[in-house]
């Protein structure tokens, strides 16, 4: 970037982008919490509010993309400056997908008509959500603070979520085998558990974006994977 | 863009981007076909090849993003030129997600141990895949040819896929209720049917990108939705 003026203009563009990503992150965290609350409490109205909130997330993603592109065209940033802008776009893409997954859970609330709701299942779902939510919060903090070790902690933490998901699937499968009247309800919860696990995957993506932003290259280590649900014939997850 | 030189350099950048998107599209179409073939024929080796192919898709997406960003920084395109570059990035993002969904189906092949395989179910899955695959092909052609009416045809065609998915879910649910030994197998197929439906959603996204590229604004009409699986208590799809 040639002049001091350009550098200042770039800094202000970048600040605004970072602010927008933080705003989007806050909204998405709320969508996760509220969608699972709605599921557990069978709060159809809250589920509908989560569905409605997704429009705002989609709009924010477009705004971030648009501003990022304009900043690249106007300021022609290089190296770390360019990576900062590209990273903002990437994080916004992952947040948008998380919004879609929460929206999908919000939609399912209205369909859960059964009274069947074993406490162990609810606890498992809550525990998984707490873990994933803390991953999303931590990775967004790491992104904002350029804290690579914190981002790498999130990156490594994905295994635990996958393990809980596999165990939830096993439990849901047992309930389905026991009584066909549980099937419909349990399938909804399977899709929800899968959605929460996928939200964890997006937190991992964001950790990889932080790595790229700071280190200037894509992460090459293989992502840790604790989720074996696709391979176990009795546990038909992922 | 100032000079004739810049205009030529831009055209050559754009051509290369379009070529990369077309290459990625071809690979993704093959992944869709092969993942469903692998599922239907229980071809575990083919399933594994689909899983392995996804790395190439992820790499292509990164290459397209990188080149798009460099083109924006170097050539500072405006209006339609800028939208062409942003659209290439967006289409690559949707293709990458389609690759993930096909990969997920490829992974499930190894888990389908049951011999249970009703013909009606297979036909439904094949029919749905044919429809979605033709949507993906058509929308990529529409993108390459800047053909807005063709893109809008794809955009409107999503309803039929959603309807088949809902009917497949209903059928799978019946098999699960009839015999608990079918449950695990049927859940895998439910996730696969949902994946195929989501691939259709990405074709719709690409149609919206074509609209944005040509018209210079986001599409505002509400997307047609035939999928009611989230709302029907007996059909627990999305």
What pLDDT is recorded for position B235? Answer: 63
Superfamily grouping for domain A4-215? Phosphate transport system protein phou homolog 2; domain 2 (1.20.58.220)
Nearest to B180 among A72, A111, A177 (CB): A177
> Which chain B residues touch A183 with a CB distance below 8 Å?
173, 176-177, 183
Give the Cα separation of B94 and B203 in Å (integer): 8
| Residues of B in Cβ contact (< 8 Å) with A107 | 230-231, 238
**pLDDT of A234 higher than 60:** no
Enumerate the domain spans of chain A. 4-215
How many residues appear in chain B? Answer: 238
Contacts of B156 (CB under 8 A, 6+ apart): B224
With 0-12 / 13-18 / 19 or more C-beta atoms within 10 angstroms meaning exposed / middle / buried, residue B19 is: exposed
Contact A176 B183 (CB under 8 A): yes
Q: Which residue has the tokens 């990108």?
A: B209
Query: In degrees, to the nearest 5, what angle opens at C-alpha A189 toward C-alphas A141 and B200?
Result: 80
CA gap A126, A66 in Å, rounded? 36
Best of A13, A72, A74 to mutate (most B CBs within 10 Å, chain B): A72
Taking an 8 Å cut-off on Cβ atoms, the answer to whether B176 and A183 are in contact is yes
Enumerate the residues of chain A whose CB falls inside 8 A of the CB of residue B230: 104, 107-108, 110-111
Minimum-distance CB partner of B230 among A62, A107, A176: A107
Separation CA A19–CA A237 (nearest Å): 36
Tell which residue, A227, A191, A205, has the closest CA to residue A103. A191
Q: What is the mean pLDDT of chain A?
A: 90
pLDDT (tens, 9 = 90+) of chain B, 238 residues, equals 557 888 899 999 999 999 999 999 999 999 999 999 999 999 999 999 999 999 999 999 999 999 999 999 999 898 999 999 999 999 999 999 999 999 999 999 998 877 777 888 889 999 999 999 999 999 999 999 999 999 999 999 878 888 999 999 999 999 999 999 999 999 999 999 999 999 999 999 999 999 999 999 888 766 665 555 554 444 666 4
Q: How far is B110 from chain A (nearest CA, A)?
A: 7
Contact criterion met (CB < 8 Å) for A73 and B69: no
* Cβ-defined contact of B69 to A62 (cutoff 8 Å): no
Question: Using an 8 Å Cβ cutoff, are A154 and A207 in contact?
Answer: yes
Q: Which of A66-80, A96-110, A128-142 has the lowest mean pLDDT?
A: A66-80
* pLDDT range class, residue A38, cuts 50, 70, 90: very high
What pLDDT score does B232 carry?
45
How many other CB atoms are there within 10 angstroms of residue B9's CB atom? 15
Which residue is it, tokens 């203009």?
Answer: A9
Q: pLDDT at residue A236 above 70?
A: no
The whole-number pLDDT of residue A112 equals 85
Tell me the C-alpha distance between A228 and B187, whole Å. Answer: 15
* pLDDT tens digit sequence for B37-64: 999 999 999 999 999 999 999 999 999 9
Indicate whether A224 pLDDT > 80.
Answer: no
Q: Do A184 and B236 touch (CB under 8 A)?
A: yes
ipTM value: 0.89
């Amino acid at each position: 970037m040639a002049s001091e003026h350009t550098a200042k203009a770039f800094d202000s563009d970048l600040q605004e982008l970072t602010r927008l990503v933080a705003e989007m992150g806050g909204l998405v965290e709320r969508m996760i919490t509220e969608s699972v609350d709605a599921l557990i409490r069978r709060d159809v109205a809250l589920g509908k509010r989560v569905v409605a909130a997704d429009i705002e997330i989609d709009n924010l993603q477009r705004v971030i993309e648009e501003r990022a592109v304009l900043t690249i065209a106007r300021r022609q940033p290089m190296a770390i400056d360019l990576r900062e802008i590209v990273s903002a776009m990437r994080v916004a893409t992952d947040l948008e997908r998380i919004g879609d997954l929460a929206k999908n859970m919000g939609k399912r609330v209205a369909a859960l008509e059964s009274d069947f709701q074993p406490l162990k299942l609810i606890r498992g779902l809550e525990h998984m959500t707490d873990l994933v939510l803390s991953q999303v919060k931590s990775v967004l903090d790491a992104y904002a603070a350029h804290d690579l070790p914190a981002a790498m902690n999130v990156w490594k933490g994905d295994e635990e979520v996958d393990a809980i998901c596999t165990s939830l699937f096993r439990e849901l499968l047992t309930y389905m085998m026991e009584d066909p009247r549980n099937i419909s309800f349990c399938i909804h919860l399977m899709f929800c558990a899968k959605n929460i696990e996928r939200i964890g995957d997006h937190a991992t993506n964001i950790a990889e974006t932080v790595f790229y932003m700071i280190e200037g290259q894509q992460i090459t280590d293989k992502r840790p994977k604790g989720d074996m649900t696709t391979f176990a014939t009795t546990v038909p997850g992922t």
